[in-house]
Structure 1
Amino acid sequence: MFQRLRLQRAARRYADHDWPVVPGARLSGGRFDCDQIGCPTVTCHPAVPDWEREALLDPDRIADWWQRAGYGVLLATGHTFDVLEVAGPVGRRLAGEVRGPVAVAPPHRWMFLMRGGTDLLPPLTGNSAVVLHRAGSWIPAPPTPLPTGAVRWVTSPCSLDWEPADPATVQRTAARLLRAAMRWPDHKSRQVWHVNRTARRAPAE
């Protein structure tokens, strides 16, 4: 009950700041259950098939959804912000260098909320550690539980008046750190939620 209320409060708070929220499948026994018969997805994913249309800002509808079950909280990207997702030590270092809301999905998936409308810079394309989430994609938001632990804020949006980061600064800094990372051991981590097909993963060369 307490976990469900925490998720509901978080969803309402995001919506209060015009961040569209989507109910996510419930974590149960190490896998995610969306209550859709025959759904093959066992990683984190939306609990509703037409999730883009169901993205919520209305507090009454949010209350209705999260009264039913302890759904995860997903944020629809491409509306108020885009998200640059960066894996591993590069993400951790990037979080210490840029100003903007940053969430982390344990153990090593870092999500940087940025103003929208910017493509990936060329130095970031072709890098499997980087995903740009835009319209048609989503991310899990704190305090959504994952098998590896709950998503949490590293830099809370409320500490920044809910302002996304400057995308050029985030991407340029990420590119610099990725170049430096060529000298580090490989600490890439496995993605623990389903990447929507419309997320802009850097293409392979």
Structure 2
Amino acid sequence: MLDTDWSDCWRGAFRIELRAEAIGLAGRGWPVLPGTYPAVGESVTDQTGADPDWQTPVPVHQNWQDEVGAHPHRVAAWWTEAPYSLLVATGTVVDAVEVDDQLGRRAAGLLRALGQPAPIVAMPNGRWLFLTTASATGCPAELRDRESVRYHGEGSWIPLPPTPFEHGVVHWRVKPEVWGWRLPDAAVVHDVLFRALAGARTQLAVAEPSAA
């Protein structure tokens, strides 16, 4: 469960913050979706999306793909009902590559060195999300086949701040407004991640002693 106070007062204030962020993203054309959120006291998942067994958010609506691209007015109405988690569908406007903390830090350092705009999300479970434009070709195999890498494209979604998460809250490492809300080309970020991955392997090989 979420390690924080999920009282009615706190929940109400959090709903307002989530609603404001959702409306802002929807106004910029991002495909916002309401997600499940942690419940207190309910014995079963209720119809608003509160879930007592909640660990990570999933879309509230079973037909969530039909809701992609909802008007900001509809988005505002969703978050009037409940403190839904803030999800964004991937595969149309935005894609994301999810990596572990070590690879995330190396890739973020390379992006800074290149001066490349790239919104980055960090989750309390130690995973990072690198946001890109939607890719027509998906994620290259050299990244996709890595156990520590997960690609979010068509048919998937990602949580965005300030969504509650197991043991904490999702937050920005690099906010999109820092780069004028420009999403980087997917191929550029994929290349940087691959270089960061190759660098990590080289570093590990150098650190390991040679076999006798």
The alignment's TM-score, normalised by the length of structure 1, stands at 0.80
| Residue 100 of structure 1 pairs with residue 129 of structure 2 | no
Deviations 1:112-132 (A, max 9, x none): 111122322232132011111
Larger Rg: 2
The answer to whether 1:176 aligns with 2:195 is yes
Q: Is the partner of 1:79 in helix, strand or coil?
A: coil
1:121-200 alignment to 2 at 5 Å?
Answer: 121-182=140-201, 183-184=203-204
| In 2: Cα distance, 1:150 partner to 1:36 partner | 20
Structure 2 spans left out of the alignment, 5+ residues: 1-11, 112-116, 205-212
Q: Measured at CA, do residues 114 and 57 of structure 1 come closer, stay the same or move farther in structure 2, by a change above 3 Å? A: same
| Equivalent-residue separation in structure 1 for 2:152 and 2:180 (angstroms) | 22
The CA distance in 2 between the partners of 1:173 and 1:85, in whole Å, is 13
1:18 alignment partner in structure 2: 29
Secondary structure in structure 1 of the residue aligned to 2:23: helix
> What CA distance in whole angstroms lies between the structure 2 residues aligned with 1:84 and 1:33?
30
Q: What 5-or-longer segments of structure 1 have no aligned partner?
A: 185-205
Counterpart of 1:71 in structure 2 is 84
Query: How far did residue 85 of structure 1 move?
Result: 1.1
Q: Larger % of helix: which?
A: 2
* Identity level (%): 35
Aligned to 1:35: 47
Please give the secondary structure, in 2, of the residue aligned with 1:129.
coil
Q: Secondary structure at the match of 2:162?
A: coil
1:24, 1:34 within 8 Å by CA — same for their partners in 2?
Answer: no
Aligned with 1:96: secondary structure?
A: helix
Q: Which runs of 4+ in 1 moved over 4 A?
A: none
Shift of 1:62: 1.6
Task: Kindly report the root-mean-square deviation, in angstroms, between the aligned alpha carbons of the 2 structures.
Answer: 2.5
